[in-house]
């Protein structure tokens, strides 16, 4: 008993010393870092029976043909140029600044809203300021990510846009608003504010000072009860005006070309040829590929409050992380893991998304592109997915260090490349809902491209059944995803136009 007690005491002391011995694990700045625990204690497969069968799976040519078949026309297509005349006001009411937080996709949606708000107010929009993301620590600007000249030109008949403020307003900076309450800053914009709210609350500031800065500005414009011309403008910004800078598009083309033609991978170009154009037209019969957005970072894992099989050490690490980042205030933490899974509220692990793809009929010859930032648990957690899909690629495996030089360490640019490749894939799958999922579902719906939306509730319940056979699992998966592969879903009240572009951005015909 004495030996047992001493061992328990030593273990307890060790756990208490962990934040001191490994401070990066508990630092609020280590959002993107894989947990040290997961490297010590790599989780074993949680669904070993299904995994064993999946590794031995066989697929048939007819099944493969149906899987890769493009979507048939569903009666909706992108609207032609709006027949509603759009003209600039004779005199601008002043300058509108917006400060955008969040990741790339959240900022993208906010940019679209900002253009519409400028239109509502007859104001001149200053190119949006992108806040430094506290998670990824990326200081990339609008002009680093998007083709600003194309953006201004595409919207020249709709909204006046300037790259920077004139000298008389040069004082209106992010630092200026951070130091004190300022009469030109609007902090009170409600989520999904109406056009009347902007006319009542922002227009007077513009008229008094000639400038208004709105921060925060995320999800600050309603999706409902907007005139058609404003809804169409939102669509125009999202699908026509927002284009990535040339070096992102060029690298994206390189990656797509190598995914479609594996032999091209051996010809990685050096930095001197980094910006060379790659043809968008590929050989007839070229290979197909799936993009998987694996949204399984440390933030996602911790905030979900689910158990991912890493044992007590991982539970302790995630609990500590929740305490440091959110002071423990996570709604899901009041539920058991089983309750969360049965409600579809746990993000899919690499193993679980791999089993889903295998059950849908993707075989081990499928070329899979992994679009994601650092995965929580690193390679130890991805290994099961890689065993199911050995031809899995990502930016690092497809492009040389020289080719990636302009995007290295810049989360927004990395995400932009993934977005571009995702839009050019035959099939897109997102492991869990989120801003990338929503943006991609909407953008691919606009072009009638196949996009598989995992049935999270069904999957959560199936994975709770540890005795489920592979045939039964596969049958349930196929049946449960028949109508989740890109079928048009019309937007309902309060839903986002960026996820459901029909009918606001699409026309029947």
Distance of alpha carbon 307 from alpha carbon 341, whole angstroms: 10
Q: What does each C-alpha distance from 250 to 166, 247, 437 come to in angstroms?
A: 33, 5, 23
- Per-residue pLDDT of 253-274, as tens digits, reads 999 999 999 887 766 654 334 3
- Maximum pairwise Cα distance, the chain: 88
Report pLDDT for 267: 65
Where do we find the tokens 């099939």? 427
Write the pLDDT tens digit of every residue in 127-167.
999 998 776 688 999 999 999 999 999 999 999 999 999 99
**For residues 32-56, average pLDDT:** 71
Tally helices (H) and strands (E) across the chain: 23, 13
Question: How much of the chain exceeds pLDDT 70, in percent?
Answer: 86
Report d(CA 349, CA 460) in Å as an integer.
Answer: 11
CB 202 within 8 A of CB 214: yes
Question: Which pLDDT score, from 0 to 100, does residue 39 have?
Answer: 39
In this prediction, residues 423-441 reach a mean pLDDT of 94
In whole angstroms, what is the distance from residue 194 CA to residue 185 CA?
A: 18
Q: pLDDT digits over 332-374, tens only?
A: 778 899 999 999 999 999 999 999 999 999 999 999 999 987 8
DSSP structure class, residue 347: P
Query: For residues 365 and 398, is the Cβ–Cβ distance under 8 A?
Result: no
Distance CA 24, CA 34 (A): 10
pLDDT of residue 118: 98
> 378-388 and 350-360 helices cross at what angle (nearest 10)?
10
Report whether 411 contacts 133 (CB < 8 A): yes
Closest of 327, 322, 316 to residue 304, by C-alpha = 322
Give the separation between CA 261 and CA 267, rounded to whole angstroms: 11
């Amino acid at each position: 008993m004495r030996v047992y007690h001493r061992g328990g005491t030593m273990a307890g002391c060790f756990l208490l010393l962990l934040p001191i011995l490994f401070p990066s694990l508990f630092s609020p700045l280590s959002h993107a870092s894989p947990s040290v625990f997961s490297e010590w204690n790599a989780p074993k497969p949680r669904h070993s029976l299904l995994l064993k069968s999946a590794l031995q799976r066989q697929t048939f040519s007819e099944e493969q043909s149906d899987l890769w078949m493009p979507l048939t026309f569903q009666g909706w297509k992108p609207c032609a140029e709006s027949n509603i005349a759009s003209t600039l006001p004779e005199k601008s009411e002043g300058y509108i600044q917006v400060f955008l937080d969040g990741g790339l996709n959240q900022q993208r949606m906010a940019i679209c809203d900002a253009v519409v708000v400028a239109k509502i107010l007859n104001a001149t929009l200053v190119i949006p300021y992108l806040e430094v993301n506290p998670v990824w620590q990326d200081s990339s600007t609008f002009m680093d990510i998007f083709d600003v000249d194309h953006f201004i030109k595409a919207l020249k008949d709709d909204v006046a846009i300037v790259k920077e403020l004139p000298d008389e307003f040069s004082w209106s900076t992010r630092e200026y608003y951070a130091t004190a309450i300022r009469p030109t800053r609007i902090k009170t914009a409600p989520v999904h504010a109406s056009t009347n709210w902007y006319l009542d609350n922002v227009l007077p500031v513009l008229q008094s000072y000639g400038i208004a800065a709105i921060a925060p500005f995320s999800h600050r414009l309603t999706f409902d009860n907007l005139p058609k011309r404003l809804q169409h403008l939102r669509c125009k910004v999202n699908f026509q005006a927002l284009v990535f800078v040339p070096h992102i598009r060029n690298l994206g083309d390189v990656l797509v070309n190598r995914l479609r033609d594996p032999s091209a991978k051996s010809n990685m170009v050096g930095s001197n040829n980094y910006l060379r154009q790659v043809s968008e037209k590929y050989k007839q019969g070229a290979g197909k590929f799936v993009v998987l957005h694996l949204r399984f970072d440390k933030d996602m894992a911790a905030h979900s409050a689910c158990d991912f099989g890493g044992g007590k050490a991982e539970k302790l690490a995630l609990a500590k992380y929740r305490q440091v980042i959110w002071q423990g205030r996570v709604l899901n933490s009041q539920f058991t893991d089983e309750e969360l899974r049965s409600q579809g509220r746990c993000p899919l692990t690499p193993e679980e998304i791999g089993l889903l793809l295998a059950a849908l009929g993707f075989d081990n010859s499928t070329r899979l592109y992994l679009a994601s930032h650092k995965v929580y648990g690193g390679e130890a957690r991805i290994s099961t997915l890689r065993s199911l899909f050995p031809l899995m690629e990502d930016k690092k495996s497809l492009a040389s260090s020289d080719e990636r030089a302009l995007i290295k360490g810049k989360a927004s640019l990395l995400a932009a490349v993934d977005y571009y490749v995702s839009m050019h894939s035959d099939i897109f799958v997102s492991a869990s809902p989120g801003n990338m999922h929503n943006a991609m579902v909407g953008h691919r719906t606009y072009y009638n491209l196949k996009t598989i939306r995992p049935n999270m509730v069904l999957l959560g319940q199936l994975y709770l059944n540890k005795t489920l056979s592979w045939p039964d699992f596969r049958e349930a998966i196929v049946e449960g995803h028949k109508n989740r592969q890109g079928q048009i879903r019309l937007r309902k009240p309060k839903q986002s136009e960026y996820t459901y572009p029909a009918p606001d951005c699409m026309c029947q015909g």
